[in-house]
Amino acid sequence: MDNHTNKKRQTLVRTLEVKKKCGLLEFLLENFKDLNKNRIKRILSNKLICVDGKAVSKFDYPLFVGMKISMLKHTENSLIGNPYISLVYEDRWIVVIDKNPGILSMQSDHHSFCVKTLLDDYFKRSHLSCTAHVVHRLDRDTSGLMVFAKNTTVQQILENNWHNIVKDRRYIAVVSGKMERQNGTIHSWLKDDKFFYTFSSPIDNGGKIAITHFKTITVCENYSLVELQLETGRKNQIRVHLQTLHHPIIGDCKYGFEGDDPIKRLGLHAFRLFFIHPITNQLMKFETPYPTSFLNIFKK
């Protein structure tokens, strides 16, 4: 997100399809097991339930097979007044946030300011007896969707089954130059040297196998907008793989072209995260818009 206000907005939490004829309250109780009856009635009264795109507040509203039921949520554009993260979804087990560039996912040896500490402060202010547990990471200068667990049990479920739980994880990137290929797959082994620089090799170099699928969305004279889907989740995977194509991400001072920084940030954003909920087993679908600064490059 490029702009931050304190105004409330409606955020899509999840969408489900009706499989059998029933009433709206019955459907919600059956499919949103983390919410009790009173909570669901409050959500209905606030017109945060949509049936086929139309806000509905009647608990006995009739549903038929094939209808799409969406739940919305009022959230602040910034989490407790902090411009670095925005709350996208929260229940008793997990929280999903949209991270802005410039903040670490978790503490490092020299930096304590990170997403985890901001979430812990938010939980404390909300009088919740839990802390944020890191499941996956985004680089400091990468923006986008992240999920955190609220206890160690949920964290372990997510970490131990991450490859099977995540159904679709995609990024959008602005890269240097015009992409020659419309789509393709990068398949290589990644290994760090003693200076923590990641190298890519087309043959096994003792590192970890990394697979990235890419699709070119649009191009202009000097840049390309590229969608990336991860099959593996290695450190620096996208940045290094795009470097191997000779189209590094803009603003990447480590793996990119020096001085190629038209928007003064790393041109990488995690815009989609679909995963199976670790407790309810529901398919959770979250997306954020492409950053405005990315799109503006291709309007000029």
- % of the chain beyond a pLDDT of 90: 53
139 is annotated as an active-site residue: yes
CA 152, 88, 164, 237 torsion: positive or negative? negative
pLDDT above 50 (res 1): no
Tell me if 192 sits within 8 A of 212, measured CB to CB.
no
With a cut of 90, say whether residue 195 has pLDDT above it.
Answer: no
Q: How many other C-beta atoms can be found within 10 angstroms of the C-beta atom of residue 127?
A: 6
Residue 51 phi, psi (nearest 5): -110, 115
Could you check whether 1-75 and 170-269 share the same CATH topology?
no
Confidence bin at 192 (pLDDT 50/70/90): confident
DSSP state string for 13-50: EEEEE--S-EEHHHHHHHH-TTS-HHHHHHHHHTT-EE
DSSP structure string for 164-220: HHEEEEEEEEEEES--S-SEEEEEEEEEE-TTS-EEEESS--SSEEEEEEEEEEEE-
- The fold of 1-75 is 3.10.290
Quick one: average pLDDT of 169-179?
96
Residue whose C-alpha is closest to residue 192's, from 201, 180, 182, 183: 201
| Cβ–Cβ under 8 Å, residues 118 and 61 | no
Mean pLDDT of the chain: 87
d(CA 285, CA 89): 10
Tell me if residue 148 falls in helix, strand or coil. Answer: strand
Supply 113's token pair.
């300011």
Q: For residue range 58-108, list pLDDT tens digits in order.
A: 989 999 998 988 877 644 444 555 788 888 888 889 999 999 999 998 877
The reported pLDDT for the residue numbered 193 is 86
Strands 208-219 and 223-230, by their bridges, are antiparallel
Pick the CATH number of 170-269 from 3.80.10.10, 3.40.50.2000, 3.30.70.240, 3.30.2350.10: 3.30.2350.10
Name the active-site residue from 98, 139, 252, 260: 139
CA distance 161 to 155: 10
At 112 the pLDDT is 72
**What residues does each domain of the chain span?**
1-75, 78-160, 170-269
The pTM of this model reads 0.74
Q: What CATH number does domain 78-160 carry, 3.10.129.10, 3.30.2350.10, 3.50.40.10, 3.40.50.10190?
A: 3.30.2350.10
* End-to-end Cα separation, the chain, in angstroms: 20
Which whole number is the average pLDDT over 22-50?
A: 85
User: So what's the pLDDT on residue 235?
Assistant: 83
213-220 average pLDDT score: 95
Percentage of the chain lying above the pLDDT 70 cut: 91
Yes or no: say if 274 and 284 are a contact pair by the CB < 8 Å rule: yes
Q: From residue 238, give the alpha-carbon distance in Å to each of 75, 136, 138, 142.
A: 31, 15, 11, 11
**In this predicted structure, what is the pLDDT of residue 5?**
35
